[in-house]
Each structure stands twice: as structure tokens, then as C-alpha cells.
A and B are shown apart, each in its own frame.
Chain A
Amino acid sequence: MSAAPLLRVANLKCAFGRAEVLHGVHLEVHAGEIVSLIGANGAGKSTTLMSISRIHRQATGCIEFDGRSIAGMAPEQVVRLGLVQVPEGRRIFPRLTVRENLEMGAFTRTDRAGIAEDIDRMCGMFPILRERAGQLGGTLSGGEQQMLAIARALMSRPRLLMMDEPSMGIAPLLVAQIFRTVRDVLRAQGVTILLVEQNANAALRMSDRAYVLETGNVALSGTGAELLRDERVRAAYLGH
């Protein structure tokens, strides 16, 4: 942990009209880590990710990726640097085929051979995508769409992947499978992960470190194991 963090967010504020949703969020993600951001509905988890991705351009504060400030950048520039998000609700393109969805994930790349290779690799990771390659994205089930959304984001060859609620609306068995696959594959490739989850238990178990967000502020932080033992976390998020 001695090296500079891959992603550093400091004093991040974001408001919609007069309503300030983030009041100064601080977080750091180091290369190779899995870090999760947990918290109740409306705590500002998605807003944090959308601010980092520069979709919420009104957000202010310090956002540094790999040592350079991305606070003034456009969303597509952030993607080009290797900071990519799998958004909440998956947001796949419903009337593009599965293959076209994957191609859009590789929009920033120009190496045709490498893109074809990666599509093949994604279909190896999630075999259902190969079966459904010619089908429209909108015809997939929720779990299949989530796999597609993750694979699509990986097509850009990110260095840091931010995932927003990948378990939402998906059968628990499938969630475990997706989590395992993602963790193993990304660990093997050295992709760093910032995970937003409502399912705090699952998130903390697979994370090196975690932050607890409460109404726009970081209330707690620590290693996954520490937070799993923490009384406040157990009471508020784990249901014990």
C-alpha cells in the first residue's frame, strides 16, 4: 500500500439543483485491490460512481486516476484512460445484438484482431454470450444482461472496473457465480475493482477493503474482514 493509489477521490461533492447528495466523499483504490462501497439506498453510492465517470459533470472535488486529475475530463476521455464503469441496471443496448454490444464496449480501441480475440475470450468466460451472440440484447434475461454488461465493460481493457450493484435483480445462485467468475478473471488479469453493493455481506467477503457511505459521507472504512466484525456495520447492513 505504499505506492500512490490508482484512484484517489477527495472532497467529492455533487448536487442536483439545490439538493447536495455527496458532501465531500474521500476514497482510495490501489492497483490490484478489490474495494467495495456499501451503504443504504440513497446514500450516494451510484452518484459517487457517476461523478467519477464524469457523467455527473457538475460534481466538484478532486478525482485523480493514476496520478492525473480527471475532474475536468469528458466521460469518453476517462474511459480511454482505463477507468470504466458497469452501470446500475446494466444499461445494455436493447436493440443491438449481443455481439454489437460487445463491440461497443471496445469503441475506444482500433485493433480489430485484438477486439475479435477479446470477444472470443468474453464468450469463454460467459458461454451464454456465445450462444446468444446474434440475439438482441433486450431479449436476454437479467442475469445474462449482467454478464453482457460486465463483458462489454471489459472489452475496453480497463485498468479499474467500477461495478454498480451487479447483483440487483438477479437470482442469488447466479450472483455467486458471477462474483466468483469476475473475481477470478480480474485477479488473473490484474484488473482493479471498485464495487458498489447493497448486498453488504457478499461484497465485504470478496473485498480487500471497503467504505461505508451514509447520506453522502464516508462513515466508516476498513478491511473487509474488519467491517464484517464491526458492530455498527453488522447492525445496519448485515442484519445481525
Chain B
Amino acid sequence: MLRAAAAADQLAILALARADSLPAFASDGVLSSSEVFSQQLVTGLSNGMIIALIAIGYTMVYGIVELINFAHGDLCMLGAFFALTAVGAFALEGAGGAGGTAGLVALLLATAAFCGALNWSINRLAYRPLRSASKLSLLVSAIGASFVLVNLGLFWGGLPMEVFAGGTSAAAPKAFPALVEPKPAFTVGDVIVSRPDVLVLAVTVPLMLALTWLVRFTKLGKAMRAVAQNPTAASLMGIDVERVIGATFFIGGALGGFATVVYSIYNQTVGFQMGYRMGMDAFIAAVLGGIGNLPGAVLGGLVIGVVRAMSDGYVEARWTNAIVFGLLILILVFRPSGLLGAKLREKV
């Protein structure tokens, strides 16, 4: 039990180290090497599932409007500030038991709605007016939207709120309360699965299943695929293409909202610059899996999560970004269509 607690502490420290890009310590001596590996694997898979959920938002938007939505990670960052503010406003911290669970569910739903609505609005204001313009104009607009969101985050972080325990500076990282305490939930052999790990699974897996159902079987899902494959033909079927695109942005944003709450609880830190990291990881995951491909985004997310964790654990955390971006370059050179992407785009 003592050892478990020590490992859990280490888990929390590792999590913080990742968030702050501080050097992680791999050879603490507390855990044996195979345990370190397994523990890093669990952490990597959990972070990977979060990255995957964000990557789905990237890949859905790309699939339907062929836009790399560079504002997506920053959207998640604002979602984290929204969640942090809500936690303070409704005193969700420390409310255990059924009330705590209900509060957590409400927080997830509210943040998802916030991010969904925000993503819908960004599309409406920054992308939709450029629908017939070149893809490059759209991309530049996405980068602009990203800057706007980052500055909104900086502004939000500077608000004088007691809940932001991270100091008075707007740019300082804020501590996100451990709504789900980083305690062990259960162990598999010597590997500890923490309660935040369980939270990650409990949120991401049902959402991915629900999204799969939506895309495959509902009228909206089929319309989304139809618009992605041939917007003109979709128009000629009586599909309001812009409405379907708007719905796609909302759903992608909402998934990012769910992801950002789980991310914040898991990593216990939020800051205005976190969106860059989240967005880049998700972007690389989406490209790795094959951009526009939903299962690919999940696979890519898991790979990136595990690669990050292993790099943190066995190399050094400061090398992790270089390794992940190196991976991106390798994909772009050797398999630009990604692991699950189609080799060629179909010509209709």
C-alpha cells in the first residue's frame, strides 16, 4: 500500500512534469524497470486517449472542409479556463461522493457545450466567409483565430479570481484542482491504474463509440459523409451544406471540450499556452492516423501518447517534443497518407 501510494505520487509528479515541460525523472529507484515501462505505458495510453479525442475534432473538420484548424488546440485551452472558472464558481473542488460525480458530469457537459458553441462561432466568423476562397486563405484565417484565442486565454488568465491559485501573472500556469484524486483505482499485477486513468477511459471510450454511431447510422452522420465526399452533390440532394459543416464544427469542438476537462484533471495544470501543445499533439496524431480518418485519429493519438510517455520516461522530457515532431516529419516523408489513410483521393 505504501509502495502504491509512492507510485501514485510519482504518477502525479510525472503528470505535472509533463504539463510544465520540466525534466521528468526516470530512474528514481522506487520502481523496477519493467514497472516503469508498464506505468509509463498506462500514462501514455491515458494521455493518448485524450489526444485522440482532440484529434477527432481536427480530423472531422479536415474531412469536411479540408482545413487544418490550427485554432483547435487553443479552443481546448479556453475550454480549460472555462472549466477552471466553473470549478471555482460552483465550488466543485472537494465535493465528494454522488454530489462530486454529478458536478463532474455537469462540468464535462458544460465545457463541451462551451467549446462546441465556440468552435461553431469560429467557423461562422472566420471560415465560412472564406468558403470559396483558396485553401491557403482559410489556413491563414485559422492561424489568426488561434492567435485571437491565445490572447483571450491570456486575458482570462489575468482575471483577478481566487480560484486561479497559480499566481497573479496572467501568463502563469494555474493549478487545476484534482477533482478526481490521483489515487490508485486498482492494480494489474504491479501496474497501478489510477482513478484519473479510469476517468479518461470512462469519458473517452463512450464518446468515441457514440461518435461512431452518429457518423455511421444517423441522418446527420450520413449527411456529414456526403458533404465531405461531394459538397455540390450534397447540395443537389437538398442538404444544407453550411448547416452540416456547422454541426461538424460543433461536435468536434464539443469533443475537444470533454477532452480538455479530462486533460486538466489528469495533468492538474492549465495555462494560456497549453493549447499549442494539445493542438500540435492532436494534429500529429491526426496526420499519423491519416487525416480525415476517424479510427486513424484514435490510433494516432494512442501512438503519440505512448511515444511521449516513453520519451519522458526513458530519454528526457526536454527531448520529447523533438522526438514527436521528428515522428511527424518521418510520417510526412514516408507515409504522407498516414497509417490508415487512403493511398489516393478518390476522383468521382
Residues of A with Cβ closer than 8 Å to B? 53, 55, 74-76, 79-80, 84-85, 87, 89-96, 100, 103-105, 107-108, 138, 152-153, 156
Q: A87-B232, A87-B233, A91-B232 are in contact. Are A76 and B226 (CB under 8 A)?
A: no
**B236 — nearest CB in chain A belongs to which residue?**
A85
A-B contact count (CB 8 A): 73
Interface hits, B116-131 → A, CB 8 Å: none
B99 at interface, CB cutoff 8 A: no
Q: Please, which residue of chain A has its CB at the minimum distance from the CB of B216?
A: A100
Closest approach, in angstroms, between the C-beta of B175 and any C-beta of chain A?
46
Q: What is the bound-complex CA distance between A53 and B239, given in angstroms?
A: 13
User: B346, A96: Cβ atoms under 8 Å?
Assistant: no
Interfacial chain B residues near A156, Cβ < 8 Å: 237-238
Within 8 A of A (CB), among B228-251: 229-230, 232-241
- What are 6 A-B interface contacts by the 8 Å CB criterion? A84-B236, A93-B225, A93-B230, A93-B234, A94-B229, A94-B348
Q: Assess A107 versus B239: contact at CB under 8 Å? Given A89-B348, A93-B226, A96-B222.
A: yes
Indicate whether B223 reaches chain A with its CB closer than 8 angstroms: yes
| Chain A residues whose CB sits within 8 angstroms of the CB of B223 once the complex forms | 104, 107
Given contacts A93-B226, A94-B346, A138-B346, contact A76 B233 (CB under 8 A): no
Where chain B touches its partner, the secondary structure class is helix
Chain B interface bracket (under 10, 10 to 19, 20 to 34, 35 or more) = 10 to 19
For A84, what are the chain B residues with a Cβ–Cβ distance below 8 Å? 236, 238
Beyond A76-B240, A91-B236: 19 further Cβ-contacts under 8 Å? A53-B236, A55-B236, A75-B238, A80-B238, A84-B238, A85-B236, A91-B233, A93-B225, A93-B230, A93-B234, A94-B348, A95-B229, A95-B346, A96-B222, A103-B219, A104-B234, A105-B237, A138-B346, A152-B237
A96 vs B240: C-alpha distance in the bound complex, in angstroms?
A: 18
* Minimum C-beta distance from B230 to chain A (A): 5
CB pair B238–A108 under 8 Å, yes or no, is yes
Chain A CB within 10 Å, residue with most, of B232, B236, B238, B348: B236
Given the known A-B contacts A96-B222, A104-B222, are A74 and B240 also in contact in the complex, defined by CB atoms under 8 Å?
A: yes
- Proximity bits, B161-181, A CB within 8 Å = 1, else 0: 000000000000000000000
Within the complex, what minimum Cβ distance (angstroms) separates B295 from chain A? 14
Given the interface pairs A95-B225, A96-B225, the reply to whether A76 lies near B235 with Cβ below 8 Å is yes
Report A-chain residues with C-beta under 8 Å of the C-beta of B226: 93, 96, 104
The answer to whether B238 touches A107 (Cβ under 8 A) is yes
A66 CA to B216 CA, complexed, in Å? 37
Q: Flag if B230 contacts A79 (CB, 8 Å).
A: no
Q: For the complex, give the distance between the alpha carbons of A64 and B238 in Å.
A: 18
Choose among B237, B241, B346, B348 the residue that contacts A104 (Cβ–Cβ < 8 A): B237
Residues of A within 8 A of B219 (CB): 103, 107
Q: Which of B225, B229, B236, B346 contacts A75 (CB 8 A)?
A: B236
- What separation, in Å, do the CA atoms of A100 and B249 have in the docked complex? 23
Q: How far is the CA of A55 from the CA of B234 in the complex (A)?
A: 11
A103 to B237, CA, bound (A): 10
| A103–B232 alpha-carbon span in the complex (Å) | 17
CB within 8 Å of A: which B198-229 residues: 219, 222-223, 225-226, 229
A47 to chain B, nearest CB (A): 13
Given contacts A93-B229, A94-B348, A95-B346, contact A100 B235 (CB under 8 A): no
Query: Are A87's CB and B225's CB within 8 A?
Result: no
Shortest CB distance B177–A (Å): 45
| Shortest CB distance A132–B (Å) | 17
Contact A55 B237 (CB under 8 A): no
In the complex, the answer to whether A96 meets B232 with C-beta atoms within 8 Å is no
- Minimum Cβ distance to chain A for residue B56 (Å): 18
Quick one: closest B residue to A85, CB to CB?
B236
Report yes or no: B235 in contact with A75, Cβ–Cβ below 8 A: yes
Q: Give Cα distance in the complex from A35 to B234, angstroms.
A: 25
Q: Take A93-B230, A96-B222, A107-B219 as given contacts and tell me if A79 and B348 are in contact as well, using a CB distance cutoff of 8 Å.
A: no
Instruction: Annotate B325-348 by CB proximity to A: 1 below 8 A, 0 otherwise.
Output: 000000000000000000000101
CA distance A55 to B280 in the complex (A): 37
List the B residue with the shortest CB-CB distance to A80.
Answer: B238
Minimum CB–CB distance from A225 to chain B (whole Å) comes to 32
Task: Please measure, in the bound complex, the distance between the C-alpha atom of A105 and the C-alpha atom of B235, giving whole angstroms.
Answer: 10
Known: A76-B239, A76-B240, A156-B238. A92 touches B233 (CB 8 A): yes
Residue in contact with B239 in the complex, picked from A90, A95, A104, A138, CB distance below 8 Å: A104
Interface residue from B232, B238, B239, B348 paired with A92 (Cβ < 8 Å): B348
The 10 closest A-B pairs by CB, nearest first: A79-B238, A91-B233, A108-B238, A75-B235, A76-B238, A93-B229, A76-B240, A94-B346, A107-B237, A107-B238
List the B residue with the shortest CB-CB distance to A57.
B132
Q: Cβ of B348 and Cβ of A55 under 8 Å apart?
A: no
Q: How far apart are the CA atoms of A156 and B223 in the complex, in Å?
A: 15
A162 to chain B, nearest CB (A): 10
